[in-house]
Chain A
Amino acid sequence: MNNGLQGNKGNDIIKKILTNYMLLFIIAGIFIVFTIRLPSGSFASVSNILKIFQVGSVYSIVILGVTWVISMNEIDTSFGDVAAFSSVFSAVLIMQVGLPPNLAIVIAILTGSLFGIINGILVTKAKLNSLIVTIAISGIAKAIAYILGKGSSVSVKQDRTQFFYQLCQGATGIIPNILIFGVILVVVMILIQEKTKFGQYIYAIGDNQEAANVAGINITKIKLIVFFISSFFAAFGGTMMMLRGAAMPTIGSNLFLESFTKIFIGATLYKLGKTNILGTFVGAVLMAMLVNGLAKVGAPSYMQQIITGILLIFGVAITSVLQRRRQRALTLEE
């Protein structure tokens, strides 16, 4: 009897590990498949793995803030076009106004963050649905990006010595600076998410907004801050993309689907169906690995979309079933 119970407990722990860290097993599986398919070492080399992590960290920085918005049970669809806006705006400031690059980038990031504040105000004060509000704001940000760039991309002459260029394009030894920066950022944000009241409030609001309100959490303030953070990171990501050589007003629509896929695939990791910073980072690395590997294998680009779509729907289904089961168990206990 006792043994049986303990056996069950052991099973539970294994099940918990399998479900919470399923994503890591999938990544390992995909990694092994690509390594076998590409025996020449073009995939599993140090430089290629660093490259995968570099791409992954660039794309995860853009969406770190959106992750929290979704944890709060709201959504922000405007991040892609906010990135496009700040990308084009910083390019225009550098090339046409003639501001020094560092200053231009800071101004562009702050202006881009304004969209987040507008989102936050419309969602919290006017009590509008965040999906529709952010769709509208993304239309505005995109249109302004097009107007600033006069409908096409703006190429930028890079000053390689300046701080932001070194941060985004430079390397320390063989490790790209942006990877180091990305990892530090992810660690700091995980600490905020797990160890501070602010982080707990985000998930409390996401779980049950009314309960959070009754418990005295200032929902308006937290939501405003999180929407601001979301646009701040999006704007920062946009200027990062400008530093590659050109600012394109079209990046928003490219970012849109991919980024949500990364965030929601990441939600299957560790917090059982809730979007979280670590998951977003791992999801971004997974997508970067898929793109990189599929290109090296020579598979057509649409395979990446189909594979991630299927992964995503399975991930959502599994976490959703587990969440429901846990809820049922909790109500039974009570």
Chain B
Amino acid sequence: MSVTKNENFISIIGFIIIFTAVIGFFTFMNPNFLTAKYFLTMFKNVTIIAIASIGLTFVIAVNHTDLSFYLTAGFSAMFMSWLISKNFSVPAAVITALIGSVVFGFTTGFAIGVARLPDIISTIAIGVIAYGCSYLFSNGQKIYVNKSNISFLNDGNILGIPTPIFFLLLFYIIFFILMEKTKYGTYIFAAGSNRIAARLSGINTNAVIIFSYILCTVFSSFAGMISTASRGNGDVATTANFLMPCFTAVFIGSAVFKRPNLLGTFLGAFFVRMMIDGVLLLGIPYYVGDLVTSILLIISLLISKLNTFGSFKRIRLVAAVNTKGGVAK
């Protein structure tokens, strides 16, 4: 189950070529793109998407989906801002708000795992509730957060590494090992590929699903908090734009390595953010970046379908049969 198998090498080489081409293009258009200073700024921006996508990778790996994580993240970010404005210390506020997000994650996981409710509807329902709850603290007004308190999350240093990047590396290393090198990672993929078979072979699939959903809300909430720290105020819209980039990151990742995995998610997040920042650096309005990201997502999905050139032919054959005969025999 190693991530880098030989059969993936075409898509990996393809990704590297596209990656270098994009960097080359942006550097050609604006030489500032490849400077160390700009790179560090961009890397900080990458961390928000990358951290928010960790949990989503797990949820997609168990073959479910989550349309609520960005709304739950908005709730936790508001909760934390509110606690800080009520003179809680920053660590206490962060931990309390994360516990709040665990409640949402557990509820979603319970509804989908134990109660076996359909995942899209359940996550939409939980998302609507979380969105409503994020208005509870200030009725939708921005909550001013004293920047000196919280700046640690965005501008501080741990062991000489900027805080967001430190957390990024820490989380990615821990959860990469968990997913790829331990039996728990195998449980996740087993539950994702065949839930019944996994349960019959003694895996507690419900626990796996609940665990994945809790990770999803906790990490997106933490990313929402970093984003709040960089803005200096809690806003219900802080995390509203998480949905697209996170899904794109996870799917670019699984397009490159043929299954959801954290290394791929990280590369995907990096790629997505690079496109957005590169477009901004050229002085093009930000929404053009969204257009490029969406097109990228579709391209990466199409590539993920083309396992090798052989299966590319097969897909075209099936398509041809479908258009001609109606029924593929």
Contacts and interface: CB of A to CB of B under 8 A. Distances in A.
Nearest to A310: B129
Interface in A90-125: 122, 124-125
A66 interface: no
A316 B122 contact: yes
Contact of B129 (A146, A147, A264, A306): A306
Nearest to A213: B327
A89 interface: no
Interface residues of B, number: 52
Which secondary structure characterizes the binding site on chain A?
Answer: helix
Interface in B116-149: 116-118, 120-122, 124-129, 131-136, 139-140
A133 B126 contact: no
B115 A305 contact: no
Contact of A302 (B126, B132, B326): B132
Nearest to B124: A260
B132 to A, nearest CB: 3
B89 to A, nearest CB: 28
Contact of A147 (B111, B118, B287, B293): B287
Interface string B200-241: 000000000000000000000000000000000000000010
Contact of A216 (B129, B132, B297, B327): B327
Contact of B131 (A132, A142, A257): A257
A280 interface: no
A303 B323 CA distance: 49
Given A135-B247, A316-B125, A301 B135 contact: yes
Given A220-B322, A316-B117, A140 B128 contact: no
Given A143-B291, A218-B326, A136 B301 contact: yes
B82 to A, nearest CB: 14
B328 A213 contact: yes
Given A147-B288, A301-B135, A140 B294 contact: yes
A128 B121 contact: no
Contacts of A197: none
B272 to A, nearest CB: 11
Contacts of B323: 125, 220
A139 B120 contact: no
A18 B312 CA distance: 52
Interface string B170-183: 00000000000000
Given A131-B120, A304-B132, A309 B295 contact: no
B118 A320 contact: yes
Contacts of A138: 294
B65 interface: yes
B319 A125 contact: yes
Contacts of A324: 116
Contacts, number: 148
A1 to B, nearest CB: 37
Interface in A131-177: 131-133, 135-140, 142-144, 146-147, 150-151
Q: Which of A131, A137, A150, A316 has its CB near the most chain B CB atoms (within 10 A)?
A: A316
A320 B116 contact: yes
B315 interface: yes
Size category of the A interface is 35 or more
Contact of A127 (B117, B133, B247, B315): B315
B76 to A, nearest CB: 16
Interface in B68-123: 71, 111, 115-118, 120-122
A216 B247 CA distance: 35
Contacts of A124: 322
Nearest to A73: B118
B124, B244, B318 pick with most chain A CB within 10 angstroms: B124
B140 A264 contact: no
A316 B118 contact: yes
A309 B67 CA distance: 14
Given A135-B247, A216-B326, A305-B135, A128 B122 contact: no
A35 interface: no
Nearest to A131: B65
A317 interface: yes
A75 interface: yes
Given A302-B132, A303-B132, A132 B125 contact: no
B187 interface: no
A312 B291 contact: no
B127 A128 contact: no
A129 B248 CA distance: 13
A312 B117 CA distance: 12
A214 B326 CA distance: 11
A21 to B, nearest CB: 20
A144 B288 CA distance: 8
A136 B243 CA distance: 11
Contacts of B34: none
B302 interface: yes
A313 B139 contact: no
A300 to B, nearest CB: 6
Interface of B: 65, 67, 71, 111, 115-118, 120-122, 124-129, 131-136, 139-140, 240, 243-244, 247-248, 251, 285, 287-288, 290-291, 293-295, 297-298, 301-302, 305, 315, 318-319, 322-323, 326-328
Pick the 9 closest A-B CB pairs, nearest first. Answer: A305-B132, A139-B294, A309-B129, A302-B135, A143-B291, A146-B287, A309-B128, A306-B132, A312-B125
7 contacts: A127-B305, A131-B65, A132-B297, A218-B327, A264-B124, A309-B129, A317-B111
Given A125-B319, A136-B248, A308-B128, 15 more contacts: A124-B322, A127-B315, A132-B247, A136-B294, A147-B288, A253-B240, A257-B124, A264-B125, A302-B139, A304-B132, A310-B129, A312-B128, A313-B126, A313-B129, A317-B115
